[in-house]
Amino acid sequence: MTADGLPMTVPAPGLPARVRIHEVGARDGLQNEKATVPTEVKAEFVRRLAEAGLTTIEATSFVHPKWVPQLADAEQLYPLVRDLEGVELPVLVPNDRGLDRALALGARRIAVFASATESFARANLNRTVDEALAMFAPVVSRAKAEGGHVRGYLSMCFGDPWEGPVPAPQVVRACTALMDMGCDELSLGDTIGVATPGQVTALLTALNEAGVATDRIGVHFHDTYGQALANTYAALQHGVTTVDASAGGLGGCPYAKSATGNLATEDLVWMLQGLGIDTGVDLGRLVATSAWMADRLGRPSPSRTVRALSHKDPQEQ
């Protein structure tokens, strides 16, 4: 580690020069908090993330407020952050009603969220896999007609708490359906954090073989079994340049009980910076933001990097 608290930079061959971090802490992180975070604190969190150099910050969800009460203030929050310079603020939208709400506030970057498995489609969307895809199709085409950019999340791409391992062809089928309806990019969710690197490479290869180009694919790893960074490295080796992460490692999923926090953005930035991969993120400011948020939430951040860099006395590290 260098004197200014950064990793030593030693590039490895065959990796991308730049990675876009899709920051999900304000959405995937806060949707899972038991206590609802006040709207002004959420807005401050988003502003601080932007000041730390993140340029894609998922802000909230226009879902049914009874399903995710933690994000029921989407109408109040979005106007507080929408004018941030140079920042994309995607929002989750499950259906026409959600899209109406998002468009009315000027949001044009949206994400639909499908499931590779029937059990999670039912738990998260009250639909079968195909019913959920049918619900998304008009949302995607209307958002595109409004000049929007649409991300298609797919959950349970590697394993499912009710159904176990998920076969790659099942995942590929749902991914191609999302691409065929007009999604600009995919995000492959390891919702419960069970994937291992070989499985990641195999799924990316299967998607390429089905005609989905790597530059349309992002990865979204939860860190339940400590595999999120290893899985990210496998994706980078495959050429993936969009990686989802959550500041401070906040997160989980209210409708997948075994899901824990996402890959922590700080842990990701530490690795990418060490590899000489540009992210535009100022690690010190990001750590300060997560430490600030941890204080608001009343518990320490689960991110190893936040803990290490928040340590007051360097002798004790």
Q: Please give the positions annotated as active site.
A: 253
Q: Tell me 174's DSSP state.
A: H
Angle, helix 129-145 to helix 118-125, in steps of 10 degrees: 60
| Contact assessment for residue 183 and residue 175, using Cβ atoms and an 8 Å cutoff | no
How many CB atoms are closer than 10 A to CB 299? 7
- Give the per-residue contact string, 58-77, with ligand HMG (x = CB under 6 A; - = no): ---xxxx--xx---------
Residue nearest to Mg ion (CB): 28
Q: What is the widest separation between alpha-carbon atoms in the chain?
A: 58
Strands of the sheet with 60-61, listed across from one edge: 56-57, 20-23, 242-245, 217-221, 185-190, 149-155, 109-115, 91-92, 60-61
Residue 263, both tokens: 């890959």
Query: Contact between 255 and ligand HMG (CB under 6 A)?
Result: yes
Cα torsion 78, 82, 88, 94: sign:
positive
Q: Between 42 and 309, name the residue whose CB sits nearer to Mg ion.
A: 42
The binder of 155, among Mg ion, ligand HMG, none, by C-beta within 5 to 8 A per type, is: ligand HMG
Q: Which of residues 5-44 bind Mg ion (CB under 5 A)?
A: 28
Q: Which of residues 29-48 bind ligand HMG (CB under 6 A)?
A: 31
Q: Which of residues 74-113 bind ligand HMG (CB under 6 A)?
A: 92, 94-95, 97-98, 101, 113
The binder of 95, among Mg ion, ligand HMG, none, by C-beta within 5 to 8 A per type, is: ligand HMG
The binder of 61, among ligand HMG, Mg ion, none, by C-beta within 5 to 8 A per type, is: ligand HMG
- Give the per-residue contact string, 189-228, with ligand HMG (x = CB under 6 A; - = no): x-x----------------------------x--------
Q: Can you state the percent helix, strand and coil of the chain, rounding each to 5?
A: 45, 15, 40
Question: How many CA atoms within 13 Å lie on the side-chain side of 92?
Answer: 22
Q: Between 98 and 302, name the residue whose CB sits nearer to ligand HMG.
A: 98
Residue in the block written with tokens 């190893």 = 304
The binder of 62, among Mg ion, ligand HMG, none, by C-beta within 5 to 8 A per type, is: ligand HMG
| Contact assessment for residue 102 and residue 84, using Cβ atoms and an 8 Å cutoff | no
Whole-number minimum distance, CB 9 to Mg ion, in Å?
A: 30
The site for Mg ion (CB under 5 A) is made up of: 28
The site for ligand HMG (CB under 6 A) is made up of: 28, 31, 61-64, 67-68, 92, 94-95, 97-98, 101, 113, 124-126, 153, 155, 189, 191, 220, 253, 255
